[in-house]
Structure 1
């Protein structure tokens, strides 16, 4: 059930109406939302609803047992059960074939003919997101930051909540469960904000991400040897903005739908391409995911206080790379970002030891830092977009060809370039422009609001290139 489909529109209208009807009957309201969430997930693949339920049950029981255990050994045992089942299921579905293929290649390099069977498993949509969301619950209980809930229904709804189950934002139990136990006051302003967020999300997805994909990104990555280095470079920049508009658009829709239903979800982006360093980029990009790795992996293995901080950073960023996909291109993606963050940390330490500010000061140094950071982020995403390491290498080789020997084909379109320019301007202009526009829309008469909605729908249909899935569904 795609967000862009009529099916989802009808589904959301029905859920919204039932949610409003049972607003003052908490148990009935939760039952409706839980049933709706499982129906939504089963529309993608009904066979994996049992997997979602299993993950919920295991972590619910483990969380209770961790809390009730009288000794450290019992607490660690139940945490191991939670981690083993959750990460084991994730590894089986997402990484098994990668390990099998890597083992076969390693054996072949030593002269052994290894004919290892490949598992025919379809990756459950959203598995990385609901795995981490449920794991955060048991990890927080183990660390004494969260108390277990007595209601399995509440916990199952937390894991399966339909706006977040496919692509986040990864919500912590302490952010969501209290809203089930003590619902937020009914607020017209929250619903209006939700509607504006949903509209913004659809504009990002359909008018920016999908258009950039069709006009620039997909042709370049489908056959890089056929195009000029300039076209390939622009396509790399376009992919960075496609990815941002796609995932932040999904987040806006998810947060907007949650607001319509009376829930608040965490924000996930803070103008990431305004970052002045790669470290700063990860503080702005997909913060619910990067925050999970920071809090539960980086700090868990010692952070900057125990062990070698640079080794801890490398482990964390390789894990972030692998979370995005099972392939050596994602391992290398993590290594590149880990190397940059390690270098920046070392450089900050050196500057502070000399009494210099850790970050660039003044407009010109900050602009240079922003441009340099964007180049690193955008170019490393060739590894992210290419299907494997060999394809990424072929793309880079085509992009680095001498101009005289390279193909001259550069099929830029006015729509593609205008969309990329608009995406850049919107990203770097002040966010207050959107806030002013949103307030103006909400203050307008209902007739004008309806006309604006109809006009926006026609524009999106005109620019739409079909119901392309959100990119992060594959993770």
Structure 2
């Protein structure tokens, strides 16, 4: 059930209506939302609802056992069981064939003829997101930062909540569970804010991400040898904005739908292409995912206080790369970002030792830093977009060894890309004021704006492509 489908709008209308009717009946309201969330997930593949339930059950039981025990050994065993079960399931569905292929290649390299059979495994949609979301609960209880809930129903709703179950944001229990314990009251302002977020999300997805994909990105990556280096470079930049508009658009819709139902979710993006370094980029990009790796992996293996900080950074960023996909291109993607983050950390230390500011201070230095950081982010995403290392190498080769002067730019493709860049770098306050103005407008004007926008998006959008992060 895609967010862009008529099925979803009918589903949301029913859920919204029932949620309003049950505002004074907390248990019935949560039961309805849980049933709706499982129905939403089962519309993608009903067989994997059991997997969602299993992940919820394992972490619910482990969380209660960890809190109930005063023995450090017992607590560690329950945590290990939750990690093994959750990450084991994730590894099986997402990485088993990658491991088999890599083992076969290694055996062939050392002289053995290996033709290892691959498993016929279908990746459950959203598995990376709901696995991390449920695990964060158990890890927080183990660290003493969260109390175990007595209600399996509430925890199952936290894990399966339909706006977030497919592509996040990865919500922490301490952000969401208190809202279930004390369900928010009816709030007209929150619903208006939710509607604005939904509208913004659909604009990002349909008017920007889908158009950039069709006009620039997909042709370039389908046959890079047929196009000029200029076209290929612009397509790389276009992909960076396609990816941002696609994922942040999904997040806006998810947050907007949650607000319509009375819940608040965290912001997931903070103008990432305004980052002055690769380190700063990861503080602004997909914040719920990057903060998960920071809090539970980087700090867990020692951070900057225990062990070698650079090794810890490399481990973290390779894990971030692999989380995005099972392939050596994603491993290299993580290595590149880890290398730049390590270099930036070393450079900041050198500057601080000399009594210099670790960050650029002048406007010119800041603009140069933003430009350079974006180049690293955008060019490394060739590895992200290409299906494998060989395809990525072929794309880079076509950029460096021009074999064609073909540059089929379209007015729509370039116009949408330039508008995306302009909107990204405009002051954030402009959009806040526009949202406030919409919320203050008469209902008739608000409705007219929605209808006009829907018609415009239907005319501009090249089709209902899936959100990119569904594959992760």
Q: Same-fold call, TM > 0.5?
A: yes
Aligned equivalent of 1:118: 118
C-alpha displacement of 1:184: 2.0
Aligned equivalent of 2:45: 45
What stretches of structure 1 of length at least 5 have no aligned partner? none
Q: Residue 44 of structure 1: SS of its match in structure 2? A: coil
After superposition, what is the alpha-carbon deviation per residue over 1:70-108, rounded to whole angstroms, capped at 9, x for unaligned? 210000000000000000000000000000000000001
Q: How far, CA to CA, are the matches of 1:430 and 1:249 in structure 2?
A: 19
Counterpart check, 1:353 vs 2:353: yes
Q: How far, CA to CA, are the matches of 2:448 and 2:69 in structure 1?
A: 60
C-alpha displacement of 1:113: 1.1
Q: Give 1:21-40 correspondences, 5 Å limit.
A: 21-40=21-40
Q: How far, CA to CA, are the matches of 2:433 and 2:298 in structure 1?
A: 39
Aligned equivalent of 1:388: 388
Aligned equivalent of 2:418: 421
Q: 2:428 aligns with which of 417, 428, 431?
A: 431
Aligned equivalent of 1:257: 257
Q: How far, CA to CA, are the matches of 1:335 and 1:449 in structure 2?
A: 47
Q: Give 1:320-335 correspondences, 5 Å limit.
A: 320-335=320-335
C-alpha displacement of 1:119: 0.7
Q: How far, CA to CA, are the matches of 2:56 and 2:103 in structure 1?
A: 32
Q: Residue 95 of structure 1: SS of its match in structure 2? A: helix
Q: Give 1:6-21 correspondences, 5 Å limit.
A: 6-21=6-21
Q: How far, CA to CA, are the matches of 2:269 and 2:432 in structure 1?
A: 16
Aligned equivalent of 1:166: 166
Q: Give 1:36-435 correspondences, 5 Å limit.
A: 36-402=36-402, 406-435=403-432
Q: How far, CA to CA, are the matches of 1:183 and 1:2 in structure 2?
A: 27
Q: How far, CA to CA, are the matches of 2:321 and 2:451 in structure 1?
A: 41
Q: How far, CA to CA, are the matches of 1:463 and 1:274 in structure 2?
A: 28
C-alpha displacement of 1:433: 1.5
C-alpha displacement of 1:69: 1.3
Q: How far, CA to CA, are the matches of 2:116 and 2:394 in structure 1?
A: 28
C-alpha displacement of 1:440: 1.6
Aligned equivalent of 1:443: 440
Q: How far, CA to CA, are the matches of 2:110 and 2:439 in structure 1?
A: 67
Q: How far, CA to CA, are the matches of 1:337 and 1:11 in structure 2?
A: 40
Structure 1's consecutive aligned runs of 4 or more residues displaced over 6 angstroms after TM superposition are none
2:23–2:185 contact (8 Å) kept in structure 1:
no
Q: How far, CA to CA, are the matches of 1:384 and 1:274 in structure 2?
A: 20
C-alpha displacement of 1:185: 3.0
When normalised by structure 2's length, the TM-score is 0.99
Higher mean alpha-carbon deviation, 111-120 vs 10-19, is at 111-120
Q: How far, CA to CA, are the matches of 1:384 and 1:152 in structure 2?
A: 37
Q: How many residues align?
A: 472
After superposition, what is the alpha-carbon deviation per residue over 1:126-179, rounded to whole angstroms, capped at 9, x for unaligned? 000000000000000000000100000000000000000000000000000000
Q: Residue 2 of structure 1: SS of its match in structure 2? A: coil
Q: How far, CA to CA, are the matches of 1:250 and 1:148 in structure 2?
A: 30
Q: How far, CA to CA, are the matches of 1:321 and 1:210 in structure 2?
A: 24
Q: 1:464 aligns with which of 458, 461, 466?
A: 461
After superposition, what is the alpha-carbon deviation per residue over 1:366-411, rounded to whole angstroms, capped at 9, x for unaligned? 0000000000000000000000000000000001114xxx201101
When normalised by structure 1's length, the TM-score is 0.99
C-alpha displacement of 1:347: 0.2
Higher mean alpha-carbon deviation, 446-455 vs 409-418, is at 446-455
Q: How far, CA to CA, are the matches of 1:464 and 1:335 in structure 2?
A: 36
Q: How far, CA to CA, are the matches of 1:336 and 1:450 in structure 2?
A: 47
What stretches of structure 2 of length at least 5 have no aligned partner? none
Q: How far, CA to CA, are the matches of 1:314 and 1:440 in structure 2?
A: 46
The Cα RMSD (Å) is: 0.6
Q: How far, CA to CA, are the matches of 2:177 and 2:452 in structure 1?
A: 38
2:33–2:161 contact (8 Å) kept in structure 1:
yes
Q: How far, CA to CA, are the matches of 2:452 and 2:185 in structure 1?
A: 33
